[in-house]
Amino acid sequence: MANNYQQYSFMINSLTSTEITWLETKFDEIDKSNDDPSGEHTDIGSTEIERRDDGADLWLYAEEGADLESLVDLLQDFLKKNRPDSYLGFEWANTCSKMRLDEFSGGAVFITADKTDWVSTYDFLETKRKAFEAVK
């Protein structure tokens, strides 16, 4: 049996104490909602957060994965509330513990307060394949 993983690792830099409190509160709320079987919850999976650089930076990472849309929604809410003229972005890798066909991919997302732009390696290759075949 093979295990699949979705991994990412990125920093949110130069946070104010208000921004750190906002993010930590949201992550705590998500943790609590995930413990309540009767309520709605947001699945950010195994996302971990650690303070870095004397607490001014937050490192977000996951070794097993998460619902990327929920994580991006949280980050976009952060930007709307705290940094409306800024952006965040990160990449992820989808891996497998065994060498299996089509079990490896990845992508990236660029997030602003108003918009998210996603790209995946699958979509990239599919677009290129279709363009190549269209000229033959």
Tens of pLDDT, residues 33-52: 666 555 554 567 678 888 88
Query: What is the total count of domains within the chain?
Result: 1
Q: State the pLDDT confidence band at 79, using cuts at 50, 70 and 90.
A: very high
What pLDDT is recorded for position 126? 96
Gap between the Cα atoms of 119 and 63, Å rounded: 20
Asked whether the CA dihedral 8, 104, 67, 88 is positive or negative, the reply is positive
What pLDDT is recorded for position 36? 57
**Mean per-residue pLDDT for 51-65?**
89
**Mean per-residue pLDDT for 92-105?**
94
Q: What is the domain extent for residue 31?
A: 4-134
Do 71 and 116 touch, CB atoms closer than 8 A? no
**Mean per-residue pLDDT for 64-91?**
95
Give the predicted TM-score (pTM) of the model.
Answer: 0.86
What pLDDT is recorded for position 37? 58
What pLDDT is recorded for position 94? 95
Please report, rounded to a whole number, the percentage of residues in the chain having pLDDT higher than 90. Answer: 71
How open is the CA angle 62-65-70, to the nearest 5 degrees? 100
